[in-house]
Chain A
Amino acid sequence: MFTLALHAARKTPADIIAENFSLLALALLSFGAVIFLIFLLASRTSVKTQEWLKYLVFLVPSILLLVVGLIYPAIRTLILAFMDKEAETFVGFDNFIWAFTIPEITVVLANTAIWVVTAPILSTVIGLAIAYMTDRMNRPAAIKSLIFMPMAISFVGAGIIWKFVYNYQPNDNKPDIGLLSAIFKGLGLTPPNWLLEAPLNSFLLIVVMIWIQTGFAMVVLSAALKNIPDEVVEAAMLDGAAPWKRFYLVSVPMIRATIVVVLTTITIGTLKVFDIVRTMTGGNFQTNVIANEMYSQAFRQMNFGRGSALAIILFVAIVPIIIYNIRQLRLERTER
């Protein structure tokens, strides 16, 4: 059954779908049947047996999967990062020295830094603005749904949507089909070849990330704004605080912890961004970022050492952010 896919080249799509769905049905049915049987048998065992059997059924499968599928691979990647291409000989810090000295890769790291600085801040600021604007509105649901919608769209889909917006018409005699070029020409400007010109292209890709993440920021910050007690806002009003002052002297400090959590969450997502760059430029024209380069090194060049080193760099960048995030969450919990 598992070898079906190998000689499927001559099969029609309908055959392949039928085969795939039989495998799917088989997988789901056997999964369900195994669990049903285990429960049927286990619930008939004695109280004493259940005392140890419960761990075996409920807890052990997840722990095994996590140890084999996350902890072991993470440790192995750490080792691979200090090995050569084929993971045969120990090379010390060579892969890291490579990452920080070869110009092609330092560009990748620099681009990642630009992403990490701009995307989270802009998404959070715009998200906060919308959250605040709609906070006391009567029917904000439609607005919020529209801004939130990109969250449901894949990075690949978003990449296509925006690549179309950025479409460049090299032939002067033909009309533009890209919206951005058309707007530029309408304003009497000459549109650049959007996705080919560095550093403009990196920022255009970052716009896609902002487009997706703003909805997330808005929803979480909206919920936080709703949690500010009315009395606080009213007290500030009675004190005669001007509306803008109320925003940054009352509202923002009250939800500071949530803002930090939103910022850090988007930062982590931005550090790992892969699909947008891969779909829109393939990492060419100086738009490459670390997660995309990690994939190319590991699975295109088949250089496991360098791929692993880049993964470790990514991890090292993420850890302090998460620790900070957790601290902020704790702080917020104790404050309440």
Chain B
Amino acid sequence: MTSLINKSLVKSKAKNVFSSPWAALGAWIIAILWTIPTFGLLVTSIRPEKDINNSGWWTFFVNPNISFENYQQVLFEGSTTNPPLYQFFFNSLAVTLPAVIFPITLAVFAAYALAWFEFRGRDFIFFSIFALQVIPLQLTLIPLLQLFAKGLVIGDVTIIPDFNITGTYIPIWIAHTIFGLPMAIFLLHNFLRQIPRELIEAARVDGAGWFTLFSKIVLPLSVPAIASFAIFQFLWVWNDLLVGLTFGGGAKEVAPMTIRLAEMVGTRGSGWELLTAGAFVSIVVPLIVFFSLQRYFVRGLLAGSVKG
């Protein structure tokens, strides 16, 4: 688990109040305190149902009974009204992949245009996109949903027809794409601006068109920035509840795991054996992504932290 945080090694050893063992101890105590709730969930999820309901999870260490029955049950056993959780797991994947790929592609394009095309109104457009980050999701939900359900008709003129896509992934993909764009364009623009002007001009002089320039030079150079934003958008979409609830149209066939879990908490408030196992299934994917790509995530976080 490397981290950019290791920079402190290079730093001089100026002592401060906390550079004592006490500071380390304090930090460790907070870190452990921060981890206990998640740890308790994990431990509970691998205990038999009877144990979970009759003793605290901390007694597991004196009485270690391990059972994967909870996972088996929550993942693979559905009911007449509810499919098993593994279907929702795949729904989450099917929601997330395009909802990461689409906005990044469009954002790299727009960032390239705003960084390197010279035209009147460029600064205005860039600033407007930056300002759009102010708009909270909630402000757009109702009209956007109506747009997907009915199309856009002003007077008698149909501007956007009704594509009849309610209850499919398409509205969720489009919604996530739209909501992700302002921040993605902003971050990638800042990155693409840093490509040396000489590099771009040299390629132009050599006769590279704007499209070749993009695919041969700009795109390969922007991979690190794309990676940073991709992790951000991945976590955002995978963990989202609001967009899925609103734009999924309530269809179980497209609902991501967060929706199913939220439903399970509501209807079976006491089924801890299923809730803990289900919750762990849903957080294990972002945790893997997080721990393996933490450096990129932190970089993205430091580059811009306001998200609409």
Interface residues of chain A, those whose CB is within 8 Å of chain B, are 2-6, 8, 13, 16-17, 20-21, 23-24, 27-28, 31, 35, 39, 42-43, 45, 47, 50, 54-55, 57-59, 61-63, 65-66, 68-74, 76-77, 80, 126, 129-130, 132-157, 159-165, 167, 174-179, 182, 211, 214, 216, 219-220, 222-223, 226, 230, 233-234, 237, 243-244, 246-247, 251, 261-262, 265, 268, 271-272, 274-275, 278-280, 282, 291, 294-295, 298-299, 304, 307-308, 310-312, 314-315, 318-319, 322, 325
Q: Is the CB of B287 within 8 A of A153?
A: yes
Q: Is the CB of A230 within 8 A of B11?
A: yes
Given contacts A17-B87, A66-B129, A156-B241, whether A140 and B27 have CB atoms under 8 Å apart is yes
Partner of A157, one of B132, B282, B305, B306: B282
Tell whether, in the assembled complex, residue B142 and residue A319 are in contact, meaning their CB atoms are under 8 Å apart.
no
- Whether the pair A274, B31 counts as a contact (CB closer than 8 A) is no
For B98, list chain A residues within 8 Å (CB): 24, 27-28, 31
- Contact across chains for A279 and B140 when beta carbons are under 8 A apart: no
Q: Do B142 and A298 touch across chains, with their CB atoms under 8 A apart?
A: yes
User: Distance (Å) between the CB of A210 and the closest chain B CB?
Assistant: 10
Most buried by A among B8, B58, B169, B179: B8
Report whether A141 and B2 are in contact in the complex, using a CB–CB cutoff of 8 Å: yes
Within 8 Å of chain A (Cβ to Cβ): is B14?
yes
Is B15's CB under 8 angstroms from A136's CB?
yes
Q: A20-B254, A147-B34 are in contact. Are A43 and B211 (CB under 8 A)?
A: yes
Q: With A and B bound together, what is the CA distance between A73 and B179 in angstroms?
A: 12
State the CA gap A125–B261 with chains docked (Å).
Answer: 32
What distance in Å separates the Cβ of B42 from its nearest Cβ neighbour in chain A?
10
Q: Closest B residue to A250 by CB, please name it.
A: B16
Known: A20-B91, A58-B110, A135-B16. A77 touches B142 (CB 8 A): yes
Apart from A179-B57, A243-B18: 20 A-B pairs, beta carbons within 8 A: A2-B163, A13-B84, A17-B87, A17-B90, A24-B94, A43-B209, A54-B113, A58-B214, A59-B110, A70-B182, A73-B140, A130-B27, A133-B23, A150-B38, A153-B286, A156-B262, A167-B272, A175-B54, A177-B272, A274-B241
- Which positions 1-21 of chain B face chain A at CB distance < 8 Å? 1-9, 11-19
Main secondary structure of the interface of B (DSSP, over half): helix
Q: Does A63 contact B125, Cβ atoms closer than 8 Å? A: yes
The answer to whether B112 and A58 touch across the interface, beta carbons within 8 angstroms, is: yes
Q: Within 8 Å of chain A (Cβ to Cβ): is B238?
A: yes
| A to B CB contacts below 8 Å, 9 in the list | A24-B98, A58-B112, A77-B142, A138-B8, A178-B56, A182-B56, A261-B305, A295-B245, A311-B138
Chain B interface residue count, Cβ-Cβ cutoff 8 angstroms? 137
Tell me if B117 is interfacial: C-beta within 8 Å of chain A.
yes
Q: Indicate if the CB atoms of B211 and A325 lie closer than 8 Å.
A: no
Determine whether B73 belongs to the interface, using a CB cutoff of 8 Å to chain A.
no
On whether the beta carbons of B246 and A57 are closer than 8 Å, the reply is: no
* Shortest distance between the CB of B238 and any CB in chain A (Å): 7
Q: Which residue of A lies closest to B265 (CB)?
A: A279
Contact A153 to B283, CB < 8 A, known contacts A20-B91, A21-B90, A222-B5: yes
Identity of the chain B residue whose Cβ is nearest the Cβ of A274 in the assembled complex: B242
A71 and B129 CA atoms in complex are apart in Å by: 10
Smallest CB separation, B224 vs chain A (Å): 17
Partner of A58 from the list B58, B113, B152, B290 (CB cut-off 8 Å) is B113
Whether the Cβ atoms of A226 and B8 lie closer than 8 Å is yes
Do A272 and B23 touch (CB < 8 A)? Answer: no
CB pair B143–A80 under 8 Å, yes or no, is: yes
